[in-house]
Amino acid sequence: MDTPDRVAVVGAGAVGLTVAHDLATGGAHVSLFERDAPGSGMTGRAAGICYDAYAEDIDVSVADRAMERIRSLSGTGEFIFHETPYVFLAREGDDAAVSALEEAVERMQVHGREVSTESADEVAERFPIRTDDVALAGVAENAGWADPATYVDLFVDNCEDVGVEFHVGDAVSVRADPPSVVVDGDVVDDDVTDVFDAVVVAAGVHSRRVLEAAGYPIALKPYRVQALVGSCDYHGPIVYDATDESYLRPHPSGVLAGDGVEPVEATPDEWDETADDWFVRDSLAAAGHRTNTDPSVERAWAGLCGATPDRNPLVGEVADGVYVACGWHGHGFMWAPAIGELLAGEILENAGVVPDPFDPRRFDGDESFAVVEGMTQPDDTETEGRPNRTDRQ
């Protein structure tokens, strides 16, 4: 096939905006279809935590490029990457989490990560967090956070600068053979709105529905997660508690905290967007305990993440000229800068290619699999020892 000239991207989240921008920068004429507003999907609900502390080759290479790009963009417009160490800890009495943490840190170090294990006292000396219940911590230096809304604003501007044509308010369906986009409601006698050389589905947790309708089901299951912002005075590190699988990061109002992963499949068009009372209560208590503060809830919300059977994302071609990028297990924001570049490069055949283990065609799309929560590892050797690759949100 010739290098695609006209490319449609479906979805203006962090991933769709980045791939649209990178395709246009590479010379393609790009139309970007977003049914609501840019960033109105899960990107607008993300905590914005980024790190490079992975224990697998492929994750490491993606994260390295993503972090490099995030840092190079920091300071452009309102987008700022706040360098903040990432402390992941296992509590006293949780021997399984302690061994998983030790093993993970060792493997991260083999991959050249700036990560070390530290005792509760060492962590308490260095950071303003409570550690009297901590058995062992890992500290990843190469980490931080950004406000996802500012990434969206930056990439909307960047896309406009390189000529991406926005179609905002258009929910679309996709067809293969030839790759086409149909604006929902515009289908008359099977007419398609537009035929493209390539179509990229970056519709987040809706990607399965979009591709299934085109005849190409993918192995993606949405699951619900929750987060809140609490007002308090906190200026410490990002913290992930492996024992109760909760996390927090500093926020201009105090702290952003989350956990609440429901290890069951959710329906992308019908789910509860408000946080549960139990989540708000437990998260405020957990964040208050760890940060030695007394946060009060400013706002709380729920969102959906996408799971795949082996916890690797689905990125690549599903049919001739039809591509997908989804299935992030809660890492889609931090990976978007690298994934956009890799996928655009693969489509335009002018740069690196997406790693093989991300090939969406490794699954038929009808697999039955469990949504795996937190540090629980699926029965799959490829993913063993990835305690930081959790469904962290």
- Interface with ligand FAD by CB under 6 A: which residues? 10-16, 33-36, 40-43, 45-49, 171-172, 202-204, 206, 210, 225, 227, 258, 303, 305, 326, 328, 330-334, 393
Q: How far is the CB of 119 from ligand FAD (least distance, A)?
A: 27
Q: How far is the CB of 2 from ligand FAD (least distance, A)?
A: 26
Q: Name which of 40 and 109 has its Cβ closer to ligand FAD.
A: 40
Q: How far is the CB of 151 from ligand FAD (least distance, A)?
A: 9
- Give the strand pairing for 314-319 and 172-175: unpaired
Q: In whole angstroms, how far apart are CA 259 and each of 132, 262, 337? A: 21, 9, 24
Q: Name which of 107 and 209 has its Cβ closer to ligand FAD.
A: 209
List, in sequence order, every residue forming a beta bridge with 174; answer none if it has no partner: 181
- In 3-state terms, the chain is what percent helix, strand and coil (to 5)? 30, 25, 40
Q: In whole angstroms, how far apart are CA 368 and each of 14, 308, 359? A: 28, 10, 18
- Residue 164: which residues within 8 A CB-CB, separation 6 or more? 20, 21, 24, 30, 31, 32
The 3-state DSSP class for residue 122 equals helix
Q: Measure the CA angle with vertex 284, ends 278 and 285; round to 5°.
A: 90
Q: Name which of 98 and 372 has its Cβ closer to ligand FAD.
A: 372
Task: Please state, as a whole number, how many other Cβ atoms lie within 10 Å of the Cβ of residue 382.
Answer: 12
Q: Name which of 37 and 110 has its Cβ closer to ligand FAD.
A: 37
Q: How far apart are CA 390 and CA 54, in angstroms?
A: 11
Q: How far is the CB of 219 from ligand FAD (least distance, A)?
A: 16
Q: How far is the CB of 122 from ligand FAD (least distance, A)?
A: 25
Q: How far is the CB of 51 from ligand FAD (least distance, A)?
A: 9
Q: Name which of 47 and 120 has its Cβ closer to ligand FAD.
A: 47
Q: Name which of 124 and 192 has its Cβ closer to ligand FAD.
A: 192
Strands (E), 53-128: 82-83, 86-91, 115-118
Q: How far is the CB of 11 from ligand FAD (least distance, A)?
A: 3
Q: Name which of 131 and 226 has its Cβ closer to ligand FAD.
A: 226
Task: Please state, as a whole number, how many other Cβ atoms lie within 10 Å of the Cβ of residue 210.
Answer: 24
